[in-house]
């Protein structure tokens, strides 16, 4: 079998995965017990890894399951992990767990996101918040057809409500761009979001965060939103499955939004309870 070219999908995937994990070829070689020369040969397309080596390679990099499956397929091997629909009966218990987490977080907003930033489900608090921020959006059920990256990239989308965009821009974009390491297909949308950020903060590139000398940096990234009911200050946490063995489950996460001050907490409780 002919060795793949340097620009073959497998060679590109493995180079990007290693660099995304911030490991040198030597560090990776020492960890998986091969020579640096062999790592170089595989990443340059002059050698093809065995199945066992490729499994160890991807495991050491802690690559997302979707990337592991892609690399195995590119190397000519069978995928390692199942990729079930969330509606699959085999995922019923996992689906129930997700729904319980959403409900338990009410009235504070929470959403389920997939790997492409599609909003798969929302709790009541999130439906209220999305309705405030995107009044043209009709959400009549538990499910949604919103892509959060599209909503952030749109000139009239979510970023228009962010009061402190200039302050949070660097961390916000760094987080988004980090995801493109394991999900390159997101790069186009992420750069559309970055362009929208640049247009709004009025600079070519938000390379630094601007603070007044008296400003104290919050312990978590706090977003301040201008809404019809007042200013909301929120931060978020993510919940993911600890040991997923299915691509769909590994790509899901719940984003839980929390009030950063008591005024925000009271506003959310008051207005979400009114629509309950």
pTM of the model: 0.78
Rounded (10°) angle between helices 124-133 and 262-275: 100
Buried b (16+ CB within 10 A) or exposed e, 158-175: bbebbeebbbbbbebbee
Q: What is the pLDDT along the chain (276 residues), one digit of tens a residue?
A: 444 465 789 999 999 899 988 999 999 999 999 999 999 999 999 999 999 999 999 999 999 898 899 999 999 999 999 988 888 898 899 999 999 999 999 999 999 999 899 999 999 999 999 989 987 664 555 556 789 999 999 988 899 999 999 989 988 899 898 888 778 889 999 999 999 999 998 754 444 444 333 344 556 789 999 999 999 999 999 999 988 889 888 889 999 999 999 999 999 999 998 876
| Cis? peptide before 107, omega within 30° of 0 | yes
Rounded (10°) angle between helices 36-43 and 25-32: 120
Distance between CA atoms of 158 and 152, rounded to whole angstroms?
5
User: What are phi and psi for residue 166, nearest 5 degrees?
Assistant: -60, -35
Distance between CA atoms of 112 and 256, rounded to whole angstroms?
9
What count of other Cβ atoms lies within 10 Å of the Cβ of residue 129?
24
Domains of the chain: 9-74 (1.10.260.40), 89-275 (3.30.450.20)
**Residue 266 half-sphere exposure, CB side, CA atoms within 13 Å?**
5
86 burial via Cβ count (<10 Å: 0-12, 13-18, 19+): middle
């Amino acid at each position: 079998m002919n060795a793949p070219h340097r620009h073959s999908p497998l060679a590109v995937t493995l180079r990007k995965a290693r660099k995304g994990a911030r490991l040198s070829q030597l560090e990776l070689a020492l960890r998986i017990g091969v020579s640096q020369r062999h790592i170089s040969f595989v990443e340059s397309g002059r050698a093809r890894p065995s199945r066992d080596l490729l499994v160890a390679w991807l495991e050491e990099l802690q690559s997302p399951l979707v990337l592991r499956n892609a690399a195995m397929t590119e190397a000519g091997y069978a995928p390692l992990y199942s990729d079930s629909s969330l509606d699959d009966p085999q995922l019923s218990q996992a689906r129930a767990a997700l729904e319980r987490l959403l409900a338990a977080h009410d009235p504070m907003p929470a959403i389920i996101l997939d790997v492409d930033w599609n909003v798969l489900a929302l709790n009541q608090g999130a439906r209220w918040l999305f309705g405030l921020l995107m009044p043209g959006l009709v959400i009549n059920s538990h499910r949604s057809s919103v892509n959060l990256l599209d909503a952030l990239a749109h000139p009239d989308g979510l970023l228009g409500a962010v009061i402190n965009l200039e302050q949070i821009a660097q961390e916000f974009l760094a987080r988004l761009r980090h995801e493109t390491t394991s999900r390159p297909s997101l790069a186009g949308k992420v750069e559309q979001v970055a362009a929208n950020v640049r247009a709004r903060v009025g600079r070519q590139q938000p390379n630094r965060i601007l603070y007044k000398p008296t400003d104290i940096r919050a312990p978590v990234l706090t977003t301040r939103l201008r809404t019809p009911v007042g200013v909301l200050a929120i931060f978020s946490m993510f919940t993911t499955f600890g040991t997923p063995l299915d691509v769909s489950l590994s790509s899901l996460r719940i984003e839980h939004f929390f009030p950063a001050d008591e005024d925000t907490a009271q506003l959310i409780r008051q207005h979400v309870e009114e629509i309950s």
